[in-house]
Amino acid sequence: MKIIVGLGNPEEKYAKTFHNMGYIAAGDVAATLGVKFKKKECEAVVAEANVGGEKVIIARPVTYMNNSGRVVKQLLARYKATSADLIVLYDDYDLPKGHVRIRPSGSAGTHNGMRSVIAETGVSDFVRIRIGIRDPEVNIPIINYVLAEVRPQDYELFISACGRAADAAIALCRGESVENVMTKYNG
C-alpha cells in the first residue's frame, strides 16, 4: 500500500498558486493512473488506484496547508499504514523554481504544511517529493510569495515539474527504490 498526499489549499482561488504544487502533482498522479478524486474521507478528497497489485491512495487535504498533518495522521490510521507507505508531494521555497527533489526523510525546512505533518504523525522518515518554487528575481515575504499565482511565463515550467514529481511518485508505487528514483528525478 502507498498513500500519496499532495499538499495545498482547497479553495479555487489557490488553484494556481505556488503553495498548490502538491495538489497539482497529486492530480497528475491520479490522471496518469486513470482515476478520479471521487470520495471525501479523513478531511481529504481521495482517489484510489491499483499499481502492480498494490493499493494506492491519492489524497488532497481540505484542511488548508497548516493543518495538513491532521489529514495525514487520519489517513495512516484509516488504512493501517506506516510512514514507509507515505509519499508527500509539496512546494518548496528552499529549491530553485522547477527543480524536483526526492528524499527518504528529513526536516520540514521552511514549510508549515510539512511542520504540521511531522508534528501530527511524530515521524519524519517518509518519502517527500519537493517541487522547487524559489525565484531569485522575486523579493517579497515568503508567505506572500507562496500564496501568489504562478506567473504566466513560468506556468509551463511548474506544470512540467509537477509532472516529473508525479512520475517519481508512481515509480515508487511500482516498487522502484528511493535511491533509483532520486537518481532519475532529482534536479
Q: Do 140 and 103 form a contact (C-beta atoms < 8 A)? A: no
Q: What percent of the chain has pLDDT over 90?
A: 83
DSSP states of 134-152? E-TT--S-HHHHHTSBPPG
Give the model confidence (pLDDT) of 93-137 as tens digits.
989 999 999 999 988 887 889 999 999 999 999 999 999 999 888
Determine the Cα–Cα distance for residues 135 and 170; give it in Å rounded to an integer. 28
pLDDT digits (tens, 9 = 90+) for 78-94: 999 999 999 999 999 98
Digit-coded pLDDT (tens) for 36-56: 999 999 999 999 999 989 999
User: Catalytic residue at 99?
Assistant: no
Tell me how far CA of residue 22 lies from CA of 32, 52, 53, 85, 137, in angstroms. 15, 24, 25, 17, 23
Among 2, 6, 10, 19, the one annotated catalytic:
19
Cell triple for residue 13?
A: 482561488
Grid cell in block for residue 107: 526536516
Reduce the DSSP state of residue 6 to 3 states and report it.
strand
